[in-house]
Amino acid sequence: MKKHEFIVRGACVKNGRLLLCQNKGKSHAYLPGGHIEHCERAGDALVRELREELGRPASVGRFLGCAENCFEQGKRAVAEINLVFEIEIPRLSTRKNPVAAESHLQFFWHPLESLETSGLQPAALRALIPQWRKHPGFSSSGQGWKT
């Protein structure tokens, strides 16, 4: 039986820049976060994932929305639901990229107004994040708010 994976992601915006993460050697980027474990609350999973990935505490803010994503990973089809929340990471500066706590990851800041060039996946988030920041909580399969 094929299942959806449930992923929680954090949108950390400071000084007009969005914090993105990527696996070293890969071209696509994603919001920090990861899989929600069985019976784990989404906010708790996000705090745990940020601690693992960045080695820093974080606080979870407003729910922004969700985006479905389907892709091929090797020979396996992956279907995921991404729950996106605003996050605050104290003492994190946009002057330099944060150092990852996990050796296979790297973090970087990308200008919010040019997300279309960021490599952010799922690609729908490139348009949805700026919309969600204005109108949080809308969920759809990549359509976002109608403005």
Cβ neighbourhood burial of 53 (10 Å; 0-12, 13-18, 19+): buried
Decide if pLDDT at 69 tops 50.
Answer: yes
- What digits encode the pLDDT tens for the residues 86-132? 999 999 999 999 999 999 999 999 999 999 999 999 999 999 999 88
Residue 76 has pLDDT above 90, yes or no: no
CA nearest 11: which of 105, 131, 141, 142? 131
**Average pLDDT value for residue range 36-47:** 96
Total-model pTM: 0.87
Residue 82 · residue 7 · CB < 8 Å? yes
**Which CATH number is associated with domain 5-139?**
3.90.79.10
Identify the pLDDT of residue 52. Answer: 97
Query: What's the chain's average pLDDT?
Result: 89
Residue 142's pLDDT band, with cuts at 50, 70 and 90, is very low
Confidence band of 138 (pLDDT split at 50, 70, 90): low
When pLDDT is cut at 50, 70 and 90, the band that residue 141 belongs to is: very low
The H or E element spanning position 127 is helix 125-134
